[in-house]
Structure 1
């Protein structure tokens, strides 16, 4: 909230210049968080797309479940707003794919009788 209110020319209390952007980064690399964000996004897209096909419910439900779990862990260790934004988008797509996959047959539908 403070990033959107603070004028772009003001200084950060630690002496760093304020960026005035919602997606401000701290200027440090966060490789683990970035990898988790990408993995969550890929799993989310996979789960969302395969959920549109009834016979692919195993892929959509498992990809959605793993995407939700990796996204939640990524949220736990995330450092910047950009990482949190990407993770939330991936978690949302994973959740939609997971729920539709569960509705179409679930995690073990047809495999275990």
Structure 2
């Protein structure tokens, strides 16, 4: 049965695939992936190694906690990507000098 026949419109991009709202879990997942991407980008740039290490150090525990309380598969995808990018970004930042100023 098509969506037009049922009268339901389905959004193409949503984290709430179970039909319920999860504002805290969604915010944590978006924060985790944002911190991870920031850590990854800043970790590649040698001059910003301190901020990359800081973002990775904060992003990994946030992503782990967000994974613990996540409710939907979309949130879990963002959390895993956030964990990996936080870790890799922090590793690159540490290889460029880490927390030294």
TM-score bracket for this pair, using the shorter chain length: 0.7 to 0.9
Q: Are 2:28 and 2:62, in contact at CA under 8 Å, matched by a contact in 1?
A: yes
Give deviations 1:28-58, integer Å, cap 9, x for gaps.
1111110011111111111111111111111
Q: Determine whether 1:26 maps to 2:18.
A: yes
Higher RCO (CA < 8 A, seq sep 6+): 2
Q: Determine whether 1:61 maps to 2:59.
A: no
Counterpart in the other structure of 1:96:
88
Q: Tell me the TM-score normalised to structure 2 length.
A: 0.80
Counterpart in the other structure of 2:98:
106
CA apart distance, 1:104: 1.2
**What is the SS of the residue equivalent to 1:79?**
coil
The alignment covers a number of residue pairs equal to 87
Flag structure 2 segments of 5+ consecutive residues without an equivalent. 1-14
Cα distance between partner residues in 1 of 2:90 and 2:24: 24
Counterpart in the other structure of 1:79:
71
Cα distance between partner residues in 2 of 1:71 and 1:100: 18
Greater gyration radius: 1
Greater helix proportion: 2
Flag structure 1 segments of 5+ consecutive residues without an equivalent. 1-22
CA apart distance, 1:24: 7.8
**What is the SS of the residue equivalent to 1:27?**
coil
Cα distance between partner residues in 1 of 2:78 and 2:44: 22
> Segments of 4+ in structure 1 off by > 6 A?
none
